[in-house]
Structure 1
Amino acid sequence: MHINPYLFILPRSPGQIVWNYKNHTQHELDLNYVSRLAQLINKPDLFDTDNIIDIQLLNADILTVSKIDTPEWGWDELSKIYHIGTQNIPCEHIPQNIHEWARQYLAHCNEVLATPPPANDCPQLEPEQRIALPAPCALGNDSLKSALLKRKTCRSYTGAAMTLNDVGTLLYLSLGYLHEREQDCDDSIATGLGARRSSPSGGGLNACEGFLLARNVVDLERGIYAYHPVDHSLSRVNSLPEPALGQLLGGQHFINNLPLGLFITARFDRLWWKYEHSRAYRMAFVEAGHLSQTFQLVATALGLNTWLTGAFADRQVEALLNLEGSAEQPLFFVGCGESDGQVMCSEMRELLREGQA
């Protein structure tokens, strides 16, 4: 008999809370159960099939018949608990189509709005007490300002094909190692760490990577591709997911016809290599955020609209990207394409109109 390695025990008088942070289940144990669990942790061979507590601990998945292997983790247990504990958040019912998603999301929003939002604790100064700032100045040819003003999240896409030239521009300017900056390196930069992207990276490690989801790109077969920033190239990894993409991304079926998407992953082993403390785990998310915003601004400058999400089925995405059991993990998804510019999909707009009628 073995103890489940994904347990986190919280002392909560008069008992203990045992939380299985991988399966998102928790159990409250009284003193008898706590004492027996402590005995079994010390010596699992004491397991007794005639002991009702032992059987209940086994049925609760606190004990396991076979040993469960855990992935290598280069930081402390706290960051491991956070990473695994925030994966694969359970959902009672994943929407099977866009209509189900619209109804569920609207019901959720109505439930949230039924409770007043938290008060704004920031002191509100009178207008005459505030300091007025000048209007923004022109930025070169003003293309950056234009992209910033135009960028918005859209949830209604035509599915129109994208060109391979646009894909190349998107990937090079967001994830590529910029040849134009090769002369920026000086003697202080360690060998092998001279590559520079348009976005900053903690420690210059470029710990994030990108996997392209190509659904409708001219001259590119549909599928999942790994992007290689060194030589600005793609390699095919997998076919497109089945069922629809929306099923993989939390039931958000309005993006099923999105022509292009990008899964941003983190190479934790690169971060472990340089940073021994798990605080560096934050840097993976910071870097993913930088890359996501750059991707969106480049897409906007190309005349495309964008959408992004952190809601996806981790295990399924890991399998799709061939990253199962790897130190490289998916963190975020961003997509782009031709859109009518609507923030909400047509199905949600129709539900809102029905509610107002």
Structure 2
Amino acid sequence: MHINPCVFILARPPHQIVWNYEQHTQFELDLHYSTRLAQLIHNPSHFDTCNPIDIEFLNAGILTAEPKEALEWRWDELSRIFHIGTKNIPCESVPQNVEEWATLYLQHCQEVLSSPPPACRIKPCPVDLIALTPCSLVDIEDVSLGQTLVSRSTSRSFSERAISIEQVSTLLYLTLGYLNERPFAHETGHPETLGARRSSPSGGGLNACEGYLYVRHVAGLEPGIYAYHPAEHALSLIRSLPDEPLGQLLAGQHFINPLPFGLFITSRFDKLWWKYEHSRAYRMAFVETGHVSQTFLMVATALGLKTWLTGALSDRQVERLLDLEDTPEQPLFFVGCGHGDGQVHCQALMALVNGQDSAS
């Protein structure tokens, strides 16, 4: 007999929870069952066909009669649990045709809308908003998509030169704003909650991403941390710029300290929970963040700015900075832009590489 490699144990006093993350099943064990499972983990050969607990473990899939070959995995166990645990989501009834899908989907949406939606933002919208100028497409209307795709690159060498508040307005509106120009923006027949539309696709139309500005050198804006409010196309100041450099917030990547402007992209997990109760929706948080970040990079490139991006955040520091500690809104990514020489690697790294080349 063998222990299923796809189970983990959670301590939930006074019980233990055994979770089979491949089959999406969980079992609550009292002390008697927990003790017996510990004995079998220590030595699975002690399995006893006359012991009803052992048989229950086998029937539940906690034990397996044959060894189960584990998927090759070179990251840690947490990432394996996340990947496998969000695969093959159980579905009570898989639609067999488009009519059945439409019926089931409409039923699901009606059930979701019967409960109140999450608030527009975790923190109430302040009264003293800083209105941004309406987005102007003049600066990018002559830039082709192909040219933008070819030109976009990741730069790690930025100057102290400021960018303009008009550029920031364009970046925010086209990345996270609700686009009034879209032909179906004012259509009726759909819930108002799901009516706002951005340039990037969003799982379930929930617009689960939010944006927080890191402003260091923006002409027309005081340095600080700001929240972007897409419905108003406006900003609110959260706090002044912290004493620690930007690189300290981004896992020690200090080459980025001169960056004039950046955007922390967060995900509103409470919005995703509202419509999608299963953990697979956690995947969609990162997918949507990727869509939004790419849009930001493309718009910045079209504006003639150099871009940079990272998922290496000093999470606790960033959560504290954005006033998001212990909330269902969490920072997932950072994108930034500014002026520079476009070098892919920073000067400090290149000096080391060139030094090694010279020595060899």
Instruction: State if a TM-score over 0.5 links the two structures.
Output: yes
**1:170-209 CA deviation, whole Å, 9 max, x = no partner?**
0001110111126445344212211111111011100000
| Counterpart residue number, 2:315 | 314
| Counterpart residue number, 1:161 | 162
| Counterpart residue number, 2:261 | 260
Check conservation: 1:227, 1:234, Cα contact below 8 A. Answer: yes
Shift of 1:35: 5.3
Tell me the matched-pair count.
233
Check conservation: 2:306, 2:342, Cα contact below 8 A. Answer: yes
What residue identity is the alignment partner of 2:322? L
In 2, distance between residues paired with 1:37 and 1:222? Answer: 58
Check conservation: 2:179, 2:185, Cα contact below 8 A. Answer: no
| Counterpart residue number, 2:328 | 327
Matched, 1:199 2:193: no
| Counterpart residue number, 1:131 | none
Pairwise CA RMSD of aligned residues?
A: 2.6
Q: 1:82 to 1:318 in 2, by over 3 A?
A: farther
| Counterpart residue number, 2:148 | 147
**1:117-158 CA deviation, whole Å, 9 max, x = no partner?**
xxxxxxxxxxxxxxxxxxxxxxx9661111110000000001
Alignment gaps of 5+ in structure 2: 1-7, 11-33, 39-77, 84-140
SS of 2:181's equivalent in the other structure is: helix
| Counterpart residue number, 1:286 | 287
Shift of 1:298: 0.4
In 2, distance between residues paired with 1:36 and 1:142? Answer: 68
In 2, distance between residues paired with 1:169 and 1:235? Answer: 17
| Counterpart residue number, 2:339 | 338
Check conservation: 1:182, 1:195, Cα contact below 8 A. Answer: no
Check conservation: 1:246, 1:252, Cα contact below 8 A. Answer: yes
In 2, distance between residues paired with 1:296 and 1:192? Answer: 28
In 1, distance between residues paired with 2:179 and 2:355? Answer: 50
Check conservation: 1:205, 1:271, Cα contact below 8 A. Answer: yes
Q: 1:343 to 1:188 in 2, by over 3 A?
A: same
In 2, distance between residues paired with 1:82 and 1:244? Answer: 33
SS of 1:152's equivalent in the other structure is: coil
In 1, distance between residues paired with 2:219 and 2:268? Answer: 30
SS of 1:278's equivalent in the other structure is: coil
In 1, distance between residues paired with 2:332 and 2:191? Answer: 28
> Which TM-score applies when normalising by structure 1?
0.61
User: Of the two structures, which has the highest relative contact order with CA contacts closer than 8 Å and spacing of 6 or more?
Assistant: 1
| Counterpart residue number, 1:355 | 356
> Which TM-score applies when normalising by structure 2?
0.61
SS of 2:194's equivalent in the other structure is: coil
Alignment gaps of 5+ in structure 1: 1-7, 11-33, 39-77, 84-139
